[in-house]
Structure 1
Amino acid sequence: MEVSILFNRDECIYTSCYCEENVWKLCSKLQDGGRLQQLKNVYAVFISNNTKMIPIWEQRSAEQGSFVVWDYHVILIYEEAEGCHIYDLDTWLSFPSSFDDYIQKAIRDENLMQQKYHRKFRMVPGTVFLEKFASDRSHMKAANGDWLKPPPTYPCISTAGNGTASVGMLKL
């Protein structure tokens, strides 16, 4: 069976270092396009840990084959009968990547890592992510108010009144 590709990389809104907003925009694109059945099979996956140091390989902010240590990262998983696929706009890997390929090449085996780098995963259904996620982008500003990385050109994502918190957090 052929894999259903939700998006081609070149039709996605992308801003480096704003992975949670990139994934929100992917979910929004499905909703706005009336692709609600596909949205039901989508999950935003938050990857982080208590030390806010998670290694991920094959990220575009590093050379191919190398890794980056992020404080967190967000990817999109699309689940269908043929299997799961990962949509990560920050990866050198194929877009989408098969779940197995992404896990083997980007996530890798934690048994080979120090405990402080072990990751935690939180899967949020795409519909819930669209409804509850908001960000004022304050986590991307230095103490003096300067941007750590240039923000997206579109306005901050706000889902006011839905119990959301700022700084890319979710209240569920």
Structure 2
Amino acid sequence: MSKRVWISKSALAQMMWNCECHYPRETGGILLGYFGDNGEPVITRIIGPGAGAVHSQMGFHPDHEFQMRQLEQAYIESNGDDDYLGDWHSHPKCDNRMSHLDRKTLTGISRSTAPKLAEPLMLILTGRRSWEPACYQLSLLPKCKLVPARFRRLDVKNYMPE
């Protein structure tokens, strides 16, 4: 499991723009990118909520059909380099800790996606104007009913794509 996540400045800017557009309601979308040779996730782009998304102050429901079309298009445009890494969303009037629903969602993602993404990401932005990102990665422990999954917070680092 990694200790850092790298995110392109343009992907972070797009998330912040979406957060501002929907404030004070939550918004979110999909994180796309790859895992580097050192195992650290690299977020190269994001997919937004879609025009059919429903936003409220306590959550949001994405336009799933829009996101699936965008995911397929991004995969083709990147020649298969960019793939699904997890989800992102905002907590406009809360802190950037994961809620119970966030934990449940991230655990569900790990069970429903390809085995190569057993430890998905969840990035949460909080604030207003100067949105602060916090990124978490699910850490699956050996199968044992007595030990729950852990969620590790990663350091967020910006990079400029080449």
Fold-level similarity (TM above 0.5): no
Relative contact order, higher structure (CA 8 A, sep 6+): 2
Query: What is the TM-score when the length of structure 2 is the normalising length?
Result: 0.29
Q: Going by fraction, where is strand more abundant, 1 or 2?
A: 2
Query: What is the TM-score when the length of structure 1 is the normalising length?
Result: 0.28
Q: Which has the larger radius of gyration?
A: 1
